[in-house]
Structure 1
Amino acid sequence: MQYFTSDTHFYHADLLGDNDFAPRPFPDVETMNQTIIDHWNARVTDQDTVYHLGDVALYFTRPAKLSYERVLAILSQLHGKIIFIKGNHDSRAFFKYLAAHDPQLNGHPKFEFHDVGVLIKYDHRQYYMTHYPMMMGIVKQIINLHGHIHHYAVNVKENINVGVDTPETDYLDHPVPFGAPFSLDEIEQMVNGKAVDFAKRQ
């Protein structure tokens, strides 16, 4: 199966607590990190693929290798193949480190990397995945899956925020645990729910 997520921001202490941008009511980053790991692994298997749309972690050390090692230790625990799309907080040096220390999965690389975006087709629809929301104009059957804006949504029905803080889970008929990547069925439900919501405004 294919899953989608963004903006995990592992180790990002400034997000802890109640705020408008990315409310994360955890006592510390270790608890936040472990919650994401647990919820991710409860839904994703090693036969699945997860598209991570950027901002993996926000953790700076000197030397940088120390933070890279600790983030890699978390990513190595996550089930599935992970396809990374570079976010504004993901450096090329960080991606190069991950590529050089790829833990492998079923005899193949666990990680894959893209600088800008990835396009996939599913059930007569195209999903263009980027970190930043894309304003694509009037297009048919193309949906932009993105992250970056945390607890906000783009006021365009073709844009779906798949980040862990997204408010667009309101379009789902069931709760999704914090940090669990979204399935294609859930993405479709978000797309259709947002389209209905916008039609009501006409």
Structure 2
Amino acid sequence: MSEFAPRPFLTVEDMNDTIIKNWNDRVGRDDIVYHLGDIAILHMRPEKEANERIFDILNQLNGRLILVKGNHDSRNLFKYLAKHNYTIDGHPKFEFHDVGVLIKMNHRQYYMTHYPMMMGIVKQIINLHGHIHHYAVPIKEDINVGVDTPEADYLKHKPPFGTPFSQQEIEEMVVQKQIDFAKRH
């Protein structure tokens, strides 16, 4: 187990199998999932073999993936995925963004990035991010949605490890973090 991101798995393969199962239990073939960076860390040479293995794992995941580049994602991985991209009902399996994606949902704007953004107080903009693993930014408008997020504790029912958060779970985290901050101030 790594000290950097301790997880309850004996092997990486066991962790990957768990993530694939939990992901596919929630995500349908046509669903869209935003992955906010650090898709995979695989230190293997030649790099092409690492990219092939990562592609094989991503190919087992249901849905279309909108990938935001993280600090551990190489430009070559994105190029490899783009070269081997395919369509699902006329839409690409993978879509790529270097910095982030802004979407509107539930009367809010969500700026989805890899790194937490310090945008100041903007009522209807929430930053969904990854990068910081077991930590949360002490700003109510920033929500860590990585697999190791402590902000999943805001949920009544925490999804199994590796399960992408639903729209309802994101909204619950946003509301509960705001309530938590209001109690403190």
Report the residue type matching 2:77 in the other structure: F
Residue 146 (structure 2) pairs with residue 163 (structure 1): yes
Residue 95 of structure 2 is aligned to residue 144 of structure 1: no
What are the ranges of 5 or more consecutive residues in structure 2 without an aligned counterpart?
A: none
Please give the secondary structure, in 1, of the residue aligned with 2:87.
coil
* Structure 1 position 91, deviation (Å): 1.1
| Offset at residue 87 of structure 1 (A) | 0.2
Which residue number in structure 2 is paired with residue 184 of structure 1? 167
Give, in whole Å, the separation in 2 of the partners of 1:132 and 1:107.
31
Aligned residue for 2:121, secondary structure, equals coil
Structure 1 residues not aligned, in runs of 5+:
1-15
Query: 1:10-30 CA deviation, whole Å, 9 max, x = no partner?
Result: xxxxxx35x4x5221101000
Offset of residue 62 of structure 1 = 1.6
1:129-148 C-alpha deviation (Å, 9 max, x unpaired): 00000000111210000000
- Whether 2:105 is the aligned partner of 1:104: answer no
In structure 2, what residue type is equivalent to 1:24?
R
What is the distance in 2 between the residues matched to 1:57 and 1:132?
Answer: 16
Q: How far, CA to CA, are the matches of 2:143 and 2:98 in structure 1?
A: 20
* Alignment check: 8 A CA contact 1:76 1:103 kept: no
TM-score computed with the length of structure 2 as normaliser: 0.97
TM value normalised by structure 1? 0.89
Using the aligned pairs only, state the percent identity: 69
- In terms of mean alpha carbon deviation, does 101-110 or 185-194 score higher? 101-110
**Structure 1 ranges of 4+ moved more than 6 A:** none
Q: Equivalents in 2 of 1:35, 1:146: separation in Å? A: 22
Shift of 1:175: 1.9
Match of 1:73 in 2: 56
Instruction: Give the paired residue count.
Output: 185
State the Cα RMSD in Å: 1.0
Q: Is the 8 A contact 2:30 2:88 kept in 1?
A: no
Question: Comparing both chains, which one has the higher relative contact order based on Cα–Cα distances under 8 Å and sequence gaps of 6 or more?
Answer: 1
